[in-house]
């Protein structure tokens, strides 16, 4: 069977899977689970994989809800990445219910068409919105032997390319000494004053960097009562850049030096720690992008190619892309839409979105078919 015939077969298989894929998507949408707690979602996906004779390994890289389902024994190893965690108070406002269904549909269809010519993998990746299981999985070598990794994200356009911000969130805690604010003999050491000085200094510091960056934060602890000098003040900051190398070697050291300088100037002590792991920038693989674009065109789907430095948000898929050729395109489920909003959550459960997930699944599986005869 030639490549075109295999692609037609992929399309037919996914069309036949429509009731199953919609049921998975809507089940996840109606039963949202937070990162690391996605027991129902993971179980639903693993059961679907077992029914199609995938071998399933559960509890990966310290995450009980992470899994690897695979079928096939030789040839290129193609992974379709499933995300399935929801957002607190919003549910599936990032459309991970659709991502899970798309990736499963692609993995199942590709496995059936490829037979013994390839290994089809569905890799269940929890906690994308928080600790990012893919970070630990990448560190543990889960993706190292793959030929390619694919994942499609719902959005308000068929976007292809671009990147994501490298992100390494930072918690900063200043510690001083409490006292009564009216004391004439003991003024204490005001940790909140130190934190405010640091916060203001950050606004100036970020303009000194030569590469695009984002530094934003909020005060999470500022004292216990207005008549007591705060002994401890704490803030959390999102710190991002287009390059994880620049972020780790230039931006974060400068932020930490600023914190130390403020502590010295105010007679306080300071402690910094990362409360979430490093999400690296996304490296979309050019040849894989072109194959995907060709298949979207075959499906009658126009795409918009983004510039390589066009960044939007952060994702642990970036860490995967530093280990294996990866793509992370968007597929339109409505417009205008902004992720992490109630409107996006509503769109992710709409009948239109359930139709669109079939397109994403087909495009990924067809791209995997290309990799049976195309090297990257």
Number of residues that this document lists for the chain? 376
What dihedral angle (degrees, nearest 10) is formed by the CA atoms of 131, 134, 138, 139?
20
Among 373, 375, 376, 331, CA closest to 6: 373
CA distance linking residue 124 with residue 66, whole number of Å: 5
Chunked mean pLDDT (size 10), the chain, 376 residues: 94 98 98 97 98 98 98 96 98 98 98 97 97 97 97 97 97 96 88 97 95 96 94 97 98 98 97 96 98 98 95 95 98 96 98 98 98 94
CA distance linking residue 300 with residue 297, whole number of Å: 5
Query: Mind giving me the DSSP string for 168-180?
Result: --EEEEEE-B--B
CA distance linking residue 150 with residue 81, whole number of Å: 6
CA distance linking residue 338 with residue 95, whole number of Å: 11
C-alpha angle 342/344/349, rounded to 5°?
A: 100
Residue 358's pLDDT is 98
Tokens of 238: 């999102």
CA distance linking residue 237 with residue 103, whole number of Å: 33
Residue 187's pLDDT is 87
What stretches of the chain show up as alpha helix (H) in DSSP? 3-16, 18-30, 39-51, 96-114, 133-139, 191-205, 244-246, 252-266, 286-298, 317-321, 342-348, 351-370
Q: Phi first, then psi: what are they for 328, rounded to 5°?
A: -145, 65
The pTM for the full model equals 0.92
Residue 218's pLDDT is 96
Tokens of 90: 């919003």
Residue 211's pLDDT is 94
Q: How far is CA 292 from CA 14, 24, 61, 129, 134, in A?
A: 17, 24, 30, 26, 22
Sketch out the chain's domains with CATH numbers. Answer: 3-164+280-372 (3.40.630.10), 166-274 (3.30.70.360)
């Amino acid at each position: 069977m030639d490549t075109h015939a295999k692609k037609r077969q992929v399309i037919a298989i996914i069309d036949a899977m429509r009731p199953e894929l919609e049921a998975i998507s809507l089940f996840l949408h109606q039963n949202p689970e937070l990162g690391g707690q996605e027991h129902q979602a993971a179980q639903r996906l693993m059961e679907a994989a077992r029914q199609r004779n995938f071998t399933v390994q559960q509890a990966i890289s310290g995450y009980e809800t992470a899994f690897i389902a695979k079928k096939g024994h030789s040839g290129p190893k193609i992974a379709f990445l499933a995300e399935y965690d929801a957002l607190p108070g919003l549910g599936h406002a990032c459309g991970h219910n659709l991502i899970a269904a798309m990736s499963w549909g692609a993995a199942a269809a590709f496995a059936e068409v490829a037979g013994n010519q390839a290994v089809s993998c569905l890799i269940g990746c929890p906690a994308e919105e928080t600790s990012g299981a893919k970070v630990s999985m990448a560190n543990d070598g889960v993706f190292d032997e793959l030929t390619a990794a694919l994942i499609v994200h719902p959005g308000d356009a068929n976007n292809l390319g671009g990147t994501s911000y490298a992100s390494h969130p930072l918690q900063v805690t200043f510690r001083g000494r409490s006292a009564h604010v009216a004391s004439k003999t003991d003024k204490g050491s005001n940790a909140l004053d130190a934190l405010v000085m640091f916060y203001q200094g950050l606004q100036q510091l970020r303009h000194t960097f030569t590469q695009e960056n984002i530094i934003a934060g909020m005060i999470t602890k500022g004292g216990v009562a207005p008549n007591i000098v705060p002994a401890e003040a704490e803030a959390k900051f999102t710190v991002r850049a287009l390059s994880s190398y620049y972020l780790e070697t230039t931006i974060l050291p400068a932020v930490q030096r600023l914190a130390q300088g403020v502590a010295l100037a105010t007679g306080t002590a300071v402690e910094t720690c990362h409360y979430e792991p490093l999400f690296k920038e996304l490296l979309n693989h050019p040849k894989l992008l072109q194959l995907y674009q060709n298949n979207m065109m075959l499906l009658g789907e126009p795409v918009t190619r983004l510039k390589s430095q066009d960044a939007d948000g952060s994702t642990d898929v970036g860490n995967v892309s530093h280990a294996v050729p990866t793509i992370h395109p968007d597929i339109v489920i409505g417009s205008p839409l902004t992720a992490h909003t109630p409107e996006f959550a509503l769109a992710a459960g709409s009948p239109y979105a359930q139709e669109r997930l079939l397109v994403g699944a087909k495009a990924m599986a067809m791209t995997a078919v290309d990799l049976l005869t195309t090297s990257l």
